[in-house]
Amino acid sequence: MIENARQTTEFVKDVIDTGDYGIRLKEYYGDGWSTAYSTIEEIHKIFSGDDDLSHIVPELIIFRHSKGDNVIALNVRVKNLDNDLVENVYIQIKSGAPTWEDYADITYGDGKTADLRVLVFDEYCDMGYFVTHPGDCIFMGQLVDHNNKCSFPTALLAAKIKQSSKSKGRILYTLFGGPDVYADSEQKQLPTKRELLEADFIFNYYDAVWGVDNGDPGDISFDEFWAGYSLKNHMGTEARWNDNGLFLSFYDTPGSDKIRWIYERRHTLFDKEYLDCPVTIEMKEEQPHKVTVRVLDLAMKDMLEMTPKDKWQYADMLYGMEHIFVDIIDEALSHYEEQMKCHADQ
């Protein structure tokens, strides 16, 4: 049984740091990459290196084709020794870091009808450099974990080349996550494409701009985009991006005088940075009171379809907007406290 802890950052770093991880599969095969993984013997090595997959015995390659320059896709008939059944396994092997597109391929595309889908990668992280989608094995590990919570058996493996001075070297496969981990867990639903793209933006763009470490175990979130700062005495700010636009809010406990005080001075406080941006107030019973500025009318669904370069720019812009908003709120609270002190002294 695979331990949940194998999804932690420490495990990922251990996998990457041990041995020589310097060359990729495509470099290893060289001119032979176009025919790589054409034999049952090569496929068998993917499963035989880990006890959690050794019960899968490849018997026949049903089809094999290349998907672009860096991806090989296979449909393989296997014998599952655990249940003595013949099953279909879809395998996608990528020389590079895994991206949301790879997940979509194995989950909604060619791997949709397989009994087991397997994604093999050879690069831990690739920021994409504004040209391609960023890839990250921790993000992919969380997606694979979620698949298995949905009773949609999926495995994620890292391929690394163990080299020596006397030989070409050999490929070692290390299992990051597999279907046995959550066999008895609460059942969940596979994400929609929209939810997948939102999670990708949060993890691979927004959190990357912040420098957030997302290596802890736990299910990935497919909720509406949300972020924020915690301030003193249960106050805070939040950013929400949905199809009505991007909203920045300051919230406080029910009955707070600060919310109405800030809202009444909204033009003085916000017009310099957010001229002509709508400002609203929410004061519902038994809920935090909020004052909110819609700083962009760009729907998130439109942003999610943009190029990687555009997404990086919006992630960076959002990061800056949040800081400016917090500075405005901090200054407003200082003025509020000074005014309350003056009233108390009178």
Question: What total number of domains does the chain contain?
Answer: 2
37/185 same-domain check:
yes
186/235 same-domain check:
no
186/263 same-domain check:
no
Residue 92 lies in a domain: yes
Domain range enclosing 234 = 225-345
- CATH number of the domain bearing residue 248: 3.30.1460
Each residue's pLDDT tens digit, 242-272: 999 999 999 999 888 999 999 999 899 999 9
Residue whose C-alpha is closest to residue 292's, from 228, 243, 208: 228
Residue whose C-alpha is closest to residue 255's, from 233, 237, 230, 225: 233
Residue 240 lies in a domain: yes
Give the model's pLDDT for residue 188: 82
Give the model's pLDDT for residue 173: 93
Residue 16 lies in a domain: yes
Q: How crowded is residue 40: how many other Cβ atoms within 10 Å of its Cβ?
A: 14
Q: Which of 185, 210, 235 is the last residue of a domain?
A: 210
Q: What does pTM read for this prediction? A: 0.84
Residue 16 CA to residue 266 CA, distance in Å, equals 51
What residues in the chain have per-residue pLDDT under 50?
1-20, 217
Say if CB 238 and CB 321 are below 8 A apart.
no
Give the model's pLDDT for residue 181: 53
87/168 same-domain check:
yes
167/256 same-domain check:
no
Give the model's pLDDT for residue 20: 44
122/145 same-domain check:
yes
Residue 220 lies in a domain: no
Residue whose C-alpha is closest to residue 160's, from 123, 129, 200: 123
φ, ψ for residue 39 (rounded to 5)?
Answer: -120, 155
182/242 same-domain check:
no
